[in-house]
Amino acid sequence: MAKLGIAREAKLVGTRIRQLRKRARLSTQSLAQRAGYTSAFMSQIEKGERQPSFETIVRLAKALGVPPAIFFTLHATRPVVKDLRRQIRNLLERCSSQQLVHTYAVLNSMLEQ
């Protein structure tokens, strides 16, 4: 019976990882590479077929730019401003020069209104 509970929890954590990966607009392969795993391993975690170790949780969180605890927050709540700022910084770090110029223009026009 306890084993069924663990399997269910692993599936929920995997689902949360998939949600966060998609929100970051990363492919399974991209996230796997950032965290140092194979895409097959990532797929197994997201499907709940494998239970991630603490080390895996930490590496995935770092690759996504989120705190590890977020994988255990199964009902997405409104993001904390601090987390939003961190996520925006992570996105900006991945932008090309041209994307940064465009992003600046969009944000500047939004904030001037």
pLDDT class of 78 with cuts at 50, 70, 90? low
CA distance linking residue 22 with residue 20, whole number of Å: 5
Asked if residue 60 and residue 99 are part of one domain, the reply reads no
Indicate the pTM of the whole model: 0.61
Asked if residue 63 and residue 35 are part of one domain, the reply reads yes
Task: Classify the C-alpha dihedral 87-90-94-98 as positive or negative.
Answer: positive
Q: Average pLDDT for residues 85-92, to the nearest whole number?
A: 88
Asked if residue 70 and residue 83 are part of one domain, the reply reads no
Asked if residue 90 and residue 53 are part of one domain, the reply reads no
For residue 113, the model assigns a pLDDT of: 63
Tally of residues, the chain: 113
The count of structural domains within the chain is 2
Q: 35: which residues sit within 8 A by CB, 6+ positions away? A: 42, 56, 59, 60, 62, 63
pLDDT class of 12 with cuts at 50, 70, 90? confident
CA distance linking residue 7 with residue 37, whole number of Å: 21
Pick from 33, 40, 38, 52: nearest CA to 16: 52
Alpha carbon of residue 64 to chain centroid: 4
